[in-house]
Amino acid sequence: MRALLFAFTLCTVAGAVGAAEKFSSSNVDVRTVIGFKASEAAVQKVLPSGWEVASPTSGPLKGFNVSINFIETITAQDAEGKSVEISSKRSRPRMPKANPYRCSGAPF
């Protein structure tokens, strides 16, 4: 009975959260990621105190510890489907990291 009550409560709350969402815009991006392997000591210097480098152990960027993400927006539309001006192309440097005092790794 408790499981049924829990499931009902979960579905009710999830429905309320979903109902609060409102579509605002959509976009199509092209993203290119370039990964580099830099000196662990050099990368560790730029991370906040207590954070550690957490390089991927598998996949196409296995072992990288610095990456640059290039993001180019191809098209963007508002909620009515009208074109939105594309402001600029973006790039951002990232480092795979993990804070041992928090949840799992996240890009920097």
Q: How many residues are listed for the chain in this entry?
A: 108
Q: Is the pLDDT of residue 108 over 50?
A: no
Q: Is the pLDDT of residue 4 over 70?
A: no
* Sequence ranges of the domains in the chain: 24-107
Single pTM value for the model: 0.54
HSE-CB of 26 using CA atoms within 13 angstroms: 6
More confident residue, 1 or 57: 57
DSSP per residue, 40-100: HHHHHHHSPTT-EE---SSSTTTT--EEEEEEEEEEEEETTS-B------EEEEE-EEE-T
CB 95 within 8 A of CB 48: no
- Angle at CA 87, nearest 5°, toward 70 and 89? 15
Per-residue pLDDT band for 82 (boundaries 50, 70, 90) equals very high
CB 64 within 8 A of CB 52: no
- Residue 16, classed as helix, strand or coil, is helix
